[in-house]
Homo-oligomer: A and B are copies of this chain.
Amino acid sequence: MKANYHAVIMAGGGGTRLWPLSRKAHPKHMLALLEQQSLFQSTVARLNGMFPPERIWVVTVEEQAHDLQRQAPAIPKENYLPEPAPRGTAAVVGLAAVALRRRNPDAVMAVLPSDHFIRHVDLFHRLLKAAYLVAEEGYLVTLGITPTYPATGYGYIQRGESIGVFADLRAYRVARFKEKPDQENARKMLAAGGHSWNSGMFVWRADVILAEIRRQMPKLAEALDEVDAAWETPHRADVLRRVWPALETQTVDYGVMEGTDKAAVIPAKGLGWSDVGSWEALFDVLPTDDDGNILRGYKHITIDARDSLVYADDNGKGKLIAVLGVDNIVVVDTDDALLVCSREQTQRVREIVKELKSRGWEEYL
């Protein structure tokens, strides 16, 4: 990969949808949910052989910076960019673009969520290579996931005309971004074809995205100018702490992508992607036993149990799981909280988190 190619990992989120395992102090991307390593560590490992560590950046929140550095010590400390407070992915992208442009005015940056799963890393590398080539021509490139069902939880991207073939992969202009649709519209788009899910993975030139931010999000651009001016001074952190909390929280999807004419998409068919966005999503990612179960504990016994997830975070306590005569159940057990949920409703776990907040039961968040 060229010396002006960088990768930016967004690692500041909370991931409440995997409560009670994901918590404020142990957000989703820090969990070793799928492998021996955390989702964040897998995201870093996935860049092996593409980027040297000094061209991998991590935007996070101050509370998480230290733990993340311990999880990925090869990345230079100065490449960890802590936000004083999370203000959405638009601010994340802007902050990283400022940092990269200072390192290299021609920087091209991939923006990657830290908490996704990708099965086929080879294809991921090919996609990134193609995306960098498209981005160099001034496009804001997004990797589009091939829809497998009429999901209502993802944004959709409608393909427009072909831009050409890059590293054997075809790229398209984006005809339209469509935010999370209702069931009816999701079904229509799936039937019509020519749509991808928005993966949240982007590639663009730092100067191009900053120009788009200036055009569409002038207040964010002003804040970034202040931060940029203080970058090489001892006041950078102070300036960040002053200007950041005043920013409006906004995603780069709403704030930039929907209003640009430079958007492009490369369909990522067969990537084996998951945003691990609910307990249900683990069934797409983790192997199941012959009865369709995912069982995590020290030992387990099942009798007539099917298509269920039982996850005991046993902290080495040697917890036994016994499952009898149930199907389509999700049970997640931690030291201080126990979730019992039907598989069909795991996306509603966020309602529990909301309820915890409204009751002031902070210790379980």
Contacts from A to B (Cβ < 8 Å): 20, 297, 299, 301, 303-305, 308, 310, 312, 317-326, 329, 331, 333, 335-342, 344-345, 348-349, 351-352, 355-356, 359, 361, 363-364
Contacts and interface: CB of A to CB of B under 8 A. Distances in A.
A345 B302 CA distance: 13
A355 B303 contact: yes
Contacts of A339: 322-324
Contacts of A301: 352, 355-356, 359
29 contacts: A20-B320, A297-B338, A301-B355, A303-B355, A304-B345, A310-B338, A310-B340, A317-B335, A320-B336, A320-B338, A320-B356, A320-B361, A322-B337, A322-B338, A323-B339, A323-B341, A324-B340, A324-B342, A324-B348, A324-B349, A324-B352, A325-B341, A325-B345, A326-B329, A326-B340, A326-B342, A331-B340, A333-B333, A333-B338
A11 B254 CA distance: 68
Given A301-B356, A319-B335, A322-B338, 10 more contacts: A20-B322, A299-B361, A301-B359, A303-B352, A303-B355, A305-B340, A312-B338, A320-B337, A320-B364, A325-B345
Nearest to A323: B340
By secondary structure, the A interface counts as mixed
Nearest to A305: B340
A358 to B, nearest CB: 10
A324 B336 contact: no
Copies held by the complex: 2
Contacts of A323: 339-341
A109 to B, nearest CB: 39
A324 B351 contact: yes
Nearest to A351: B303
A339 B297 CA distance: 12
Given A336-B319, A338-B320, A348 B312 contact: no
A340 B331 CA distance: 8
A318 to B, nearest CB: 6
A337 B319 contact: yes
For the complex of A and B, list the 9 residue pairs with the smallest distance between their C-beta atoms, beginning with the closest.
Answer: A325-B345, A325-B342, A324-B341, A320-B337, A322-B352, A323-B340, A320-B364, A322-B339, A326-B342
Given A297-B338, A301-B356, A317-B336, A348 B325 contact: yes
A322 B321 CA distance: 18
Contacts of A351: 303, 324
Contacts of A318: 336, 363
A297 B312 CA distance: 17
A354 to B, nearest CB: 10
A356 B320 CA distance: 10
Contacts of A342: 324-326
Nearest to A363: B318
B352 A338 contact: no
A344 B317 CA distance: 30
Given A303-B352, A351-B303, A331 B338 contact: yes
